[in-house]
Structures are given as structure tokens and as C-alpha cells.
Amino acid sequence: MSILNRFLTNRLNASLGLMLISVFLLAAILGSVWTPHDPLLVNFGDRLRPPGGDYWLGTDQYGRDTFSRILVGARESLTISSLSVAVAVVSGTVIGALAGYFAGLVDRAIGTVMDALIAFPSLLLALGIVAAVGPGKYGVIVALGVSYAPGVARIVRATVMSLRGRDFIDSARALGNSHASTLIRHVLPNCIAPVAVIGTSLFATALLSESALAFLGLGVPPPNPTWGGMLADTKQFATSAVWLVLAPGLAISMTLLAVNLLGDALRDFFDPRMEQV
């Protein structure tokens, strides 16, 4: 508890971010046990109902309850984007750190592969990977993770290379650390700040890319709701039925806000210089 306490004291962004993200996590949990209506039930009698009464957030063009769909979608959207960011950050950090630390031939080999991956537009790359892995939730996670990894690797590599020039890496070696323990104990902790920043911004991209894949029929298959998918399905009603766009839009942007606040707070938290401020 004391770590959480230290993390929250004097950090408005941390408490705010944590609060917001908890709301959405609760929503996701709630969505998997109970919803006011069946999120998949088509009911043409109640098409495009405005919010209020029986339908708290109105209904869509097929008469499905928006609130129920948001709740269920929360689970899908949050798992997909957080897992794909995790895949990207972990693999990108490992690859980038190896390339930056060992430099030379290792760097050149890794760099060539990463450059080739970056050369594809990430959505196109993701499309190809989904086609290979097969559509569905896990296909999307792998596809997005792999297509974001080179970007993370690039940034980690650059950070590690500049750290490599600092004397404390040499002193770590001189004190008897092996390459592995130098890398893990001395290099990686100093990469947290840039990784936190790029991780949070990738979260946003992942949420939206998922909907793009869904739109192309490669994401979570259609009747199942995701936030991105809801946004894509309903954009022609943006003027006539604002709530249809507003509900998933707000959900997405509030999540992003929460993730960004948390990212900032984490970065500060891991910076020893910020300790007493």
C-alpha cells in the first residue's frame, strides 16, 4: 500500500488517471456479468431512440441498446488495446535494447528487419498479419503488437545508445556486472520515461486501429461490439443521432485521457529527481 500511497501523494494526474481508468475497468467487468439489455438483440421497433427512459444512452440503427454495447465493448476494446501495447512495448524494448547495447553487427541485423517492418504502413502490416494469424481477438492483438514494435524498438535503441556513452555503464562493467545484468539493472530502468510516453500514445492508436481493422472485417466479428467498431458503424448518423457517436467517442477519449495521465505520473514516479517535489 505504501508504494501506491507514494505514487498518489501530490500527484493530481495520478489520482485522476487512476480514478478514470477504474471506472472503465469496472464497466468492463460489469459488462461481462450484467447488461440492462441484450447488446446483440436487434429491435427495429426501437431504432435510433434518443437517450432516456428505458435506453439510458439511446439505441442504434438496429435498435440495440447503446449503453449495453458500451459496457460489453469496454471489455473487448480495453483488452485488445492494452494487450497489443504490452506486446509492442515488451518486444520492442527487448529488441531495441539489444540493438542499442551491443551495437555493431547485432544492431545492423535488427535494424534491417525493423526498417523493413517500418516501411509498411502499420495498418497494412497489421492486415497482413491478421490474414496470416486468422481474424479474431488474438489475431488483432498480435497484429497490432507486431506492427507497433519497431517504433518502440527505435526509441529504446536510441535511448540505450546515448546511455551507452555514459560512464556509469562502463563502471557497471568495471564492477563485475555481466552484459546481461548491466543491461537489466543499469540500462533498462533508465529507459522507463520514453517507453512510458510511447506506450501511452500507442494505446490511443491501438484503440482506433482496432476499429479500422473491424471496419475491414478483420477485427472482432461484427455483431460483437467494440468501441472503435461502434464509432465506425454509426458515423453516418453523426448529425441525426449524436449520441451514437458521442457515447463511444467519449468512452475512447476518456480512456485515452486516463492512460495519458497515468503515463505522465508513472514517468515522474520513476524519475528519482522528482522525488521530493
User: Shortest gap between Cβ of 193 and other proteins (angstroms)?
Assistant: 11
User: Shortest gap between Cβ of 260 and other proteins (angstroms)?
Assistant: 24
The label of the residue with cell 482506433 reads 208
Q: Closer to other proteins at the Cβ: 166 or 235?
A: 166
Residues 6+ apart with CB under 8 A from 63: 42, 43, 44, 45, 46, 47, 48, 49
Q: Closer to other proteins at the Cβ: 240 or 275?
A: 275
Q: Closer to other proteins at the Cβ: 178 or 253?
A: 178
Q: Closer to other proteins at the Cβ: 38 or 271?
A: 271
Residue 43 to residue 199: CA distance in whole angstroms: 40
Instruction: Find the Cα–Cα–Cα–Cα dihedral 22, 24, 27, 29, rounded to 10°.
Output: -60
DSSP string, 202-225: HHHHHHHHHHHHHHTT-SS-TTS-
Helix axes 122-133, 192-215, angle to 10 degrees: 70
Binding site for other proteins (CB under 8 A): 166-168, 170-178, 181, 186, 189-190, 270, 272-273, 275
Cβ-contact 49, 59 below 8 angstroms: yes
Residue 227 to residue 79: CA distance in whole angstroms: 12
Q: Closer to other proteins at the Cβ: 45 or 176?
A: 176
User: Shortest gap between Cβ of 182 and other proteins (angstroms)?
Assistant: 10
Q: Closer to other proteins at the Cβ: 112 or 181?
A: 181
**CB neighbours (10 Å) of residue 118?**
16
Fill in the DSSP letter of residue 183: I
Residue 139 to residue 218: CA distance in whole angstroms: 9
User: Shortest gap between Cβ of 158 and other proteins (angstroms)?
Assistant: 18
Q: Closer to other proteins at the Cβ: 185 or 235?
A: 185
- HSE of 32 in the Cβ direction (CA atoms, 13 Å)? 11
User: Shortest gap between Cβ of 242 and other proteins (angstroms)?
Assistant: 41
User: Shortest gap between Cβ of 275 and other proteins (angstroms)?
Assistant: 7
User: Shortest gap between Cβ of 93 and other proteins (angstroms)?
Assistant: 16
